[in-house]
Structure formats: C-alpha cells, structure tokens
Amino acid sequence: MLVVPDVDAAALAARVLDPPADAVVRHFGRAGLHALPLGDGGFALVRSYRHGGVLRALTQGWFVSRPPRPFVELSVTASARERGVATPEVLAAVVARGFGPWYRGWLVTREIAGACNLWDALRGNPPGNETKGLLLRRVGRALRLMHGRGVEHGDLNLRNILILQGSVRPGVYIIDFDKARLWPGAVSAVRAHANLRRLLRSINKLDPERVHVPLAGWNSLLEGYDRGFDDRC
C-alpha cells in the first residue's frame, strides 16, 4: 500500500481490508463507500475498484493491470492537486494480491464534509444563494481550469463532480481520476471537447427528458467553460 506520511498504514490497512460491521456507508450515486473515522475528527472514504459493463459479472473486483490501478490513480490525483485542480486528498492506495497476477484494489480519500455529487445537487436545491445556471457556470469554469492545467479526465460524468454544500459560493471538486491522463501543457481542444461530450452523454442518460439540466443549463456550463478563469463566473 501507498500512504501519505501522517497516516498509520498498518491501522488503515486493517480497516480497509476488513471493515467493521458497523462501518458507516456513504452513498454517492450507485457506489457505497465505507467511511472510516480519522484522528482529526474527519472521515476517510474507501472506494473499492470494480469493473464495469460485461466484465463486472465475470471478474467483479479482480484486476491484472500493471502498475496496479489504485497506485496509478493516487499518483495522477496527487499530480492534479499539485497543478491546482480541486479534488479530494488521496490518503492511501491499497492492493491485496489474490491468485497469480490477480489483485483487488481500494482507494482511500479524505471526505469533503457536506459535499454531494452534481447530479444530486441539480435534482435538489442548489446550495447557498446559487441558481442552477450559476452553479453550472462554476462547473464549466472548474473543467476549463482542469484542462488548462493539462489534466484529461477519462470518465467525466455528473457523479464525478462534487459540489460542496452549505456555503454562499460552493466549491466544485472533480473526483475519480482512475482513467485520467496528464499532459505537459494544456489538454488539446479535440480531447477537451471529447471530455465535454462525455459529460453531455451522462446528462442525456441520467436526465433524458432534460428536466434538471435543460438546454439553458448546458449552455450555462459552456459559458463558464468559455470564460475560463473569469472571476465573475
């Protein structure tokens, strides 16, 4: 396992591999994440790696990739944070070997208290004094910053964007850099637009009637993206 310096690796590994029966579970979209208390009063969220699509039923949580996916995501996420992208701090990446080259993996991140994913935020009331249009402009701005810092997200969707509730000017955080790529300069326009199209597919899948994210909302996101680092967004 790889851990940040101030984390007790042995204690954390025991709780990740064998979570207590009364462990708190946080729900973000389809995933249930175990929440482990930290000494500073906060919580660590444990996400186990699972295949999607057809492989989900065949291999479930077993992988053979090298280097292991949790270690890659820890490295990419740490690099994204260093480049100024708002994303939760990764505390540890854990791998447990099975038979032969197969392994299971977990990623442990520090919980952002009060945050929910963008899909849930759009279905409810935007936090603070925000309108949905202003919130989506902030999201567009965050995505433009990410691309400008050379980070290409591999699975951009409404559930991989977190909104920090309870503040007048809510924060926007991007998560799940499992399939992300880092570039020495800004992400190319072609790849950046592909990221945005993937986000639009997510909107069309979750909200086919466009009740919560109408065309005006998508246009607000694009407006924020086009303005980039304009503080008025």
- Among 18, 120, 155, 226, the active-site one is 155
Structure-token pair, residue 132: 């949905």
* Known catalytic residue at 40: no
Query: For helices 215-227 and 189-206, what crossing angle results, to 10°?
Result: 160
Catalytic amino acids? Answer: 155
